[in-house]
Structure 1
Amino acid sequence: MKFGEQLRSSIIREYQWYYIDYDGLKADLKRPSGPHGEWTEEDEKRFVSKLEAELDKVHTKQQVKAMEISRRIAVSEREVKDVVNRLQERGLNEEGPSEEEFMLLEEDLSDIIAEVHDLAKFVQVNYTGFYKIIKKHDKMTGWRLKPVFDARLKAKPFYKENYDAAVVKLSKLYDLVRTRGNPVKGDSSAGGSQGSFVRHTTKYWVHPDNVTELKLIILKHLPVLVFNPSKEFEEADSAISSIYYDNPETFELYEGRLKKTEGAEAIRLRWYGGMQTETIFVERKTHREDWTGEKSVKARFALKEKLVNPYLRGELLPSAIFEKARKEGKKSEKAIAEDERLAAEIQYSVLKKKLKPVVRSFYHRTAFQLPADARVRISLDTELTMIREDNLDGVQRSGDNWRRTDIGIDWPFPQLPPSDICRFPYAVLEVKLQTQLGQEPPEWVRQLISSHLVEAVPKFSKFIHGTASLFPDRIHLLPYWFPQMDVDIRKPPTHDFGIKRLESSTRTSTTDVDEDDDEDSDEENETTTENQNGETSGQGVTRNRRARGGVTATDIEDQTVDQASNENTYLYDSEDEPDEDRLEEARRVGGWTYYSTLLQTRANAAARVTWSVLKALVPRPRASQVPRNANLESLLGSGEIHQKRIKAPKGKKIYVPVRVEPKVYFAAERTFLGWLEYSIYIGTIAVTLLNFGASDKGGRGSSIIAAGVFTLLAFLSLWYAVVIYLYRSHAIRTRKAARYYDKWGPSILCAALFVAVVLNFVYEGKGRGVW
């Protein structure tokens, strides 16, 4: 979809006069005042002045609306506290707040949630508009405006508004109202002990444009998990840092986690908050294959920061670490013994495998969970950053310490060189479910993970991605998602989650799509989606709005679209330069440049049409429609799955995880023995023909020929069986993504047997004088 069309379809009624005038700015770029269509200094001044006015307009509206939302949250907070206090302080015969009061409060909070959502969408689409119009200006005029205007955007950073504090407050208030003043209470540390727990985890990428909307949707079902409710929320409270350890020479832990080998470990040291935090958690993740009957487990124990270095160097024994805990008696002897055993195993691995700090991960986490109930836990990690911690290239980053100390939590870490840092472009959503009890995930979770807001990335790992990104010269085996980082994960909306204002429709349609927008210069795909009635999506939306009288749907959770869009389009256009934009620039130059560009664009268009017609005419096998299983649908949704051929960078290999169970080895052996059996049968036939044919003088020559054919066939089948068995055994041991089915072997064997039998019949008949 073109950005101009997207902007018009995204206009919210309250903000309709405050959006960037994208069409007006684009029209100015197409009207240079130079004598030969050249962009002059007066044109540049006029354009910059208008762009400044648009920036002031958007920034002012954002500031005013943000203050208004803050005031509304403060007022709602007082009202909710008043109602809850009346509920808690009522006497035995006194009536508390009515159900209607709670319903009104819930509606008011839902309206505030919708306002935060609308403001986030307003900011996001305007920021994209400024980015695209500046890019269009630089490309069409040849004047470089982007570096200068970046400074203006930093002076008025309307797009850097952080809604985390508002989300935490709204979550607390909404939970109070939803539970009618009786929120679930319990251990806020994640529903119990974090020492050792088992969950089924699925991971997704979330585009920054959808982060705030996703948080607002989740908080209507799960409260934000706050570890210290009595403390005012600060940005540092959500900061999480982890130091991953590995052997910097062999990267054996990286390779083990990438290949998912049985017993593969990941060892990290984690802390919450700033660098002054004294409590450090030493964690170990252990991968277990499904055939073992065990689940992958994360185990950890707490350690004081001042004890980390002597512990990792082997100078501090685990028994000394937990001596104080035994004296205090706050934990059971069994729990202390488990922690001590874990500490001893990790210390042994660090010393034996010569593990050193290699990668740090930093992010801000927003966790959603009912206290004391870990059945459903959702976490969203934003501003994910991976940083080098090693000393491989002679640069002393961590030195002899267990972590580097020249950085803290001052994201985006501008002081670091580009070679030391990898800023991940997406947020990471983790949906953790306790599945050992056999319960199904809630319906709203199923709809959320199959919606347009998330992109499923099974087995995504911050440690694996950071190591592969920061050590390009040492890592040659890449995860499967690594070459897909340049693919835009934004998709057309497929679900309405009910984040709507209470009044009439919040969105409005301005004018129809004008003809000029057909020449929007950033487009790669200019088709429109048609619904079942043959009308375009924009017409269908407009018609539906008119039929409803401008009122949007209420909070209905079962509005999932039956089928997602069949086009491989995204929310915004590609950054590739289309033919229309090249033609527009060539028209200004004129002369042979214009005519050659015109001829080239027309030839490209004709070639595309011809190729489409040929593909439609040439007969080819069609794939059968196979119903999608429940596991795949939970990961990828019910829409069409688009495939793209991925090629590894030069000198690298993409590792695709292959699941290997013990029965696979036995299956390969059974297949090998089956081939041997048939080879022996064929060899027996050859020996029989040779022996009985030799006694018959009349058919001796034909029998020898037939016996030779069957002997050769037996030898070839034996050789083929051995080669295939060795190939499959090697592929299984190395977890290679090979073809384990035999496409040609059985068919060739049957054909060869048929030919051998026919030859034997022909020669035998000829030898006996039948023909």
Structure 2
Amino acid sequence: MSFLEEFNENIYEPWHIEYVAYEVINKGLYEICNSGHWTSRDENDFEAAIRLEAGKVDLFINRKQREIESRLAYCKRVLNQKKWSEEDTSTIDESLTDILADINELGRFTRINFKALQNLIKDHDQLTNTNRKALLVQVCRARPLDNQRFDELLIQVSCLLDICRNRLESSTNDVSIDSKRIQTARYWVHQDNITEVKALLLFNLPMYVNNPAQEFEQTEHSTSAVYLDNNGFSEYLSRLQRDDGAEIIDIHWYGDMDLSHEVYIERQTYVKTDQGGSSVTDSIIMSKDNVYDFISHQYTAKDYANDLQRENTDQEYVDKKYIIAQSIQDTILKKKLEPKLRIYFDQLRFESPQDRTLSVALDSNIAFARENGAQKLNGEWRRQDMNVDYPFRKLLSHDLHLFPHAVLETQIVGGKSPLWLSRLLDSKLVYEVPRFSAYLHGVAQFWGPQLPLLPWWIPQMEIDIRTAEHKSGFSGITRSKSYKPLIDGQHRTRYLEAQLGKRQKQSNKSLSMHRTIYNRNRWNNSTDSSLLVPSSMDGKEKCHIAQQIENASSSSLHRAFTTPSLSSRTRLRDPNKDNGAFIDTYYNGRNNQSQAYMLQDANTVRESDNLREAAIIEMKEEKKKKKKEKKLKPPSHTMEPKLFFANERTFIHWLQFSAIILTAALTLLNFGDSISTISGIVFFCISLVIALYAFFRYRYRAHQMSTRPHIRYDDIYGPAGLCTLIVGAMIVVKFHTSNGTST
């Protein structure tokens, strides 16, 4: 099936005018390139068309999100009422189900349009022998065509649905729990808290070991995995967007590779279900010497099956593994997959042999390495300079990334969490990161600048997870304790508390400053700059960018829709120059019924993209500046009076010592001979230096206590200098005494 057929099959008819004009742009691209008349003007027009179509999609997504947010606000108001009836709750349940379906459709809309833009740029590069992948990155940085932007809405719907269904179940006394449902959650653990978390886990759960008779060795709990992808990172993008059928293929082994003879080739396939989605895992065991030949198709699935038969393996098992090996090998060859990323980690698993409903894994010493960054000999499928010698000091810095945290993963069967685990997960020892994937994180760390979409948790790497606050979400609605997996079957309601509570409050406050230009599928005659802002940003970022766009581009946006007497085609082109063939094909073929074309043209969309990118860069610089100032700024403190009194006592002690030396100096000066006079002068100077130094040190230490109470106050150089001066004075006196005696 061609992508054009896939694109047309995935069009949701009520929104058909808001999709990317893929067929029109693709047709113009092929016609002009095949005729050999592609010019630099056509190149600029192609970029303008891509930006304009991305802007149209982004405007529509923001519009639908505002509509969904208003519907959710109504549902929250109803559920906040003290008096509620079963009929009202059933109505809200149906409304939330419809909203969930709309969000799902909006996610499909976003995904297919992103693929359309990606394929257009790919076809353009093939036809023109250029590389414009950076254009897709720029467009997606300014207008994130990313399904992750809907996670906030999904979590809100999840919580409200949970509340509705709990009320309905309690009213009918029909509380059912799916005993086979597995809930998975992932958390970051700071390095300072790893030991404490281990102790808590060991206190409540035994650690799983393969052979209890053997002594514990850290290398036995280490795992290494080599992940496969292509140069376009199609597997990464598919998994990030949770496409149905998205695959991840890895080759992993346990412990020291020099002691291992076999590896596991595993494929995880993401499958969407009515409850959300789940991963299906298939794996085969293969000799490490055959892996390179298997990837390059020199060692076929048939050869693998024959080797299994020689080992007198059951025929049913051989047939099953043959099918899996054939499927994995076909995927590798079809998608041109190759080793890209190595992940190393030490894993401790905690579970009770008597109760398999709870399993906890703690991954520490996590390291990422580029597999394509090392020089490999023919026949090698992995880099040889990396084994179990964490932290891998032999590797170059640009080929290695050490993850700063440990990862805690919990798997609960049946939805009931023990009290001790709930307390641990609600504490400051862990920081919840839903849908965290080590593979996605590693790819984003090494190849982030060339990727159009990044995982949502990348900005979270800058925060201190030990002090990060987990604020509650919806005020007035009690968080449900049922922990039903309503989203992908893997997320607890606590997601809202961990990630969205703070942003929800900020977003509601900042968005009230801007007018909503969409009301019941109708556009007003004014332009709201907040609609041009990605909804995935938090409230302050939206407000900041919207104000910049409104102040800087209001005139250009005004020109875009204040000429109703002109057709959209005439208005969107520059009448002062001849237009290229591509832009004529684009304007003549596209569906101009989309109201987004009235808000922006090829010039204004480029201007708004540049403004948005500049605003985002400015905000990042401001965050770095504030973070730096915060580090330099002294923390709030309360000084005790005894510290100042101690400083005064120290000063007085130095003055007393200075007075003693001064007394000795005056006594020597009164003797009258030359030696006594010289000695008295030397001791007098030392006394003066000590007094001045003591006064300076007293004032400086008082200033330190007032401004920087966390530093050391002890005097390192003063006593040493004092001793040096006195010893020097005694040597001078002795020298002069010796000379006087000899004469």
Question: How high is the TM-score relative to the length of structure 1?
Answer: 0.39
Greater per-residue helix proportion: 2
Higher relative contact order (CA 8 A, sep 6+): 2
Question: How high is the TM-score relative to the length of structure 2?
Answer: 0.41
